[in-house]
A and B are shown apart, each in its own frame.
Chain A
Amino acid sequence: MSYVFDFPAVFEHTDALLAGTGRTLALTAIGAVIGIALGIVGAVCRAWRLAPFDRLFAVYVELIRNTPFLVQLFFIFFGLPAIGVQMNEWQAAILAVIINLGAYSTEIIRAGIEATPKGQIEAAQSLALNRLQTFRHVVLPPALLKVWPALCSQVVIVMLGTSVCSQIAAEELTFAANFIQSRNFRAFETYFIVTAIYFLLAIGIRQLMMQIGRRLIARRP
């Protein structure tokens, strides 16, 4: 056994690592913002039993939560063009992330909305707030705050899951890893470094989202 590790061989491709990291972050950010927005809409439809949307969202949530992200991605990228819906690898990746996170956040946020004490809504009504105002100012902020840690975890899970987007040739971080190891033949070192980058991203995203939760939702400095 005389294998000599060569980690510097990985850092000769720092530009590829940085580009991949940036794209993984961008994919996650776009997916998180739109996915959580979709989740809020879905959660409202489910919690308030807005027919027929509550049923539609229920089916959507079950379909997405019971199939792998990789299969959703393949279905969107390879399957949809067969029925005339063309898209490039980035559009497919972004759409897959939004659809996936949308389903999970629907369930997560619904739990928060349904945990709103009845008295709060009655109090809002007694102040002559309409339904939308009640939702916007009384129901949503505490509901989001309650489930924010679960949403953070889900966004991190989704970010880690985007590594399979390399399979449709979206040039994110894992794609960069595959490219680098095909150049330097240092597969182990390359994947080790990239795994470490993902780990740091996971920590960073969680920290950032907790900050956002504190500032924007709880309105604390």
Chain B
Amino acid sequence: MNDISTWDIVRNLFDGAVWTLALSLTAFVFGGLAGLAILFARIAKHALPRRLALGYIEIFQGTPLLMQLFIIFFGGSLIGLEISPWIAAAIGLTLFTSAYLAEIWRGCVEAIPKGQWEASASLALSRFEQMRHVILPQALRIAIAPTVGFSVQVVKGTAVASIIGFVELTKTGSMLANATYQPFLVFGFVALGYFALCYPLSAYARTLERNLHGARSH
């Protein structure tokens, strides 16, 4: 235990944090793309895609992320796919992120006054064109703050991936705590690492929200 210095702990945790960041970015980018598709289904004209999207969102919001990861991990090997913890975590967190973002963005789209839909419809825009040129640009403005706010949940969610064996910040911390017998110090550093990743995002989301409300009141 004596040959692992505090500096070694910090350096190893930093390497782990890089993977936390990589997983967060992957989940956020792909989750955003998938979330956009689900958003379109969720506000579609026809009832079937709307219901399917609603079911998708409710399932991912109503079950533990850990269970979702287990099912992907073990379900993959069931159909003969050897899924690595990294792939399982990336898929799981992407699906998780997409469900939440779709629901957040739906709220933003629905906050756009109905008159905007009607006005653009009266200009003979198709539903897709209405979304593309009229609704989404306005919804985007109010969506940025809650989207940045949710990114904090994604970063924190990646900690659960440590349980299926993906070596990121939390897993690195567990291994170091076992190796050094200094759990207080190690998990303190781990918590600080997450705080360093998440706090700027939280603060930025708050600033965005304040600016938006300020802009509205004028």
A interface list, Cβ under 8 A from B? 1, 3, 62-63, 65-72, 74-75, 78-83, 156, 160-161, 163-164, 166-167, 174, 177, 187-188, 191-192, 194-195, 198-199, 202-203
A198 touches B64 (CB 8 A): yes
Within 8 A of A (CB), among B133-190: 152, 156-160, 162-163, 170, 173-174, 177, 182-188, 190
A199 touches B188 (CB 8 A): no
Q: When chains A and B are docked, how far (Å) is the Cα of A75 from the Cα of B189?
A: 10
A70 touches B159 (CB 8 A): yes
- Is B62 interfacial (CB 8 A cutoff)? yes
Within 8 A of A (CB), among B70-84: 70-71, 74-75, 78-80
A71 touches B191 (CB 8 A): yes
B199 touches A66 (CB 8 A): yes
B62 touches A199 (CB 8 A): yes
B173 touches A74 (CB 8 A): yes
Q: Most chain-B Cβ atoms within 10 A of its Cβ — which of A71, A160, A199?
A: A71
- The 4 lowest CB-CB distance pairs between A and B, nearest first, are A68-B159, A66-B198, A163-B64, A78-B183
* Mask: chain B, 63-106; 1 = CB below 8 Å from A; 0 = not: 11111101100110011100000000000000000000000000
- Is B40 interfacial (CB 8 A cutoff)? no
B67 touches A194 (CB 8 A): yes
Where chain B touches its partner, the secondary structure class is: helix
Q: When chains A and B are docked, how far (Å) is the Cα of A161 from the Cα of B158?
A: 13
B194 touches A191 (CB 8 A): no
- Is B204 interfacial (CB 8 A cutoff)? no
For B78, list chain A residues within 8 Å (CB).
3, 188
B interface list, Cβ under 8 A from A? 59, 62-68, 70-71, 74-75, 78-80, 152, 156-160, 162-163, 170, 173-174, 177, 182-188, 190-191, 194-195, 198-199, 202
For A67, list chain B residues within 8 Å (CB).
156, 191, 194-195, 198
| Shortest Cβ gap from B171 to chain A (Å) | 10
For A202, list chain B residues within 8 Å (CB).
62-63
B202 touches A71 (CB 8 A): no
For A66, list chain B residues within 8 Å (CB).
152, 156, 194-195, 198-199, 202
With A74-B173, A79-B187, A191-B70 known to touch, is A68 a contact of B156 (CB < 8 Å)? yes
B195 touches A63 (CB 8 A): yes
Q: Most chain-B Cβ atoms within 10 A of its Cβ — which of A66, A69, A164?
A: A66
Closest to B200 in A: A66
For A166, list chain B residues within 8 Å (CB).
66
B170 touches A163 (CB 8 A): no
| Shortest Cβ gap from A172 to chain B (Å) | 11
For B65, list chain A residues within 8 Å (CB).
160
For A63, list chain B residues within 8 Å (CB).
191, 195
For B191, list chain A residues within 8 Å (CB).
63, 67, 71-72, 75
For A62, list chain B residues within 8 Å (CB).
199, 202
Of B67, B177, B199, the residue contacting A174 (CB under 8 A) is B67
| Shortest Cβ gap from B29 to chain A (Å) | 20
Q: When chains A and B are docked, how far (Å) is the Cα of A1 from the Cα of B80?
A: 8
| Shortest Cβ gap from A60 to chain B (Å) | 13
Q: When chains A and B are docked, how far (Å) is the Cα of A55 from the Cα of B182?
A: 30
Closest to B174 in A: A74
Of A72, A75, A177, A195, the residue contacting B63 (CB under 8 A) is A195
For A188, list chain B residues within 8 Å (CB).
71, 74-75, 78
Q: When chains A and B are docked, how far (Å) is the Cα of A156 from the Cα of B80?
A: 34
B170 touches A71 (CB 8 A): yes
A70 touches B162 (CB 8 A): yes
Q: Most chain-A Cβ atoms within 10 A of its Cβ — which of B59, B65, B159?
A: B159
A70 touches B71 (CB 8 A): no
Closest to B197 in A: A66
With A68-B156, A75-B191, A188-B74 known to touch, is A1 a contact of B67 (CB < 8 Å)? no
For A69, list chain B residues within 8 Å (CB).
156, 159
For B184, list chain A residues within 8 Å (CB).
75, 79-80, 82-83
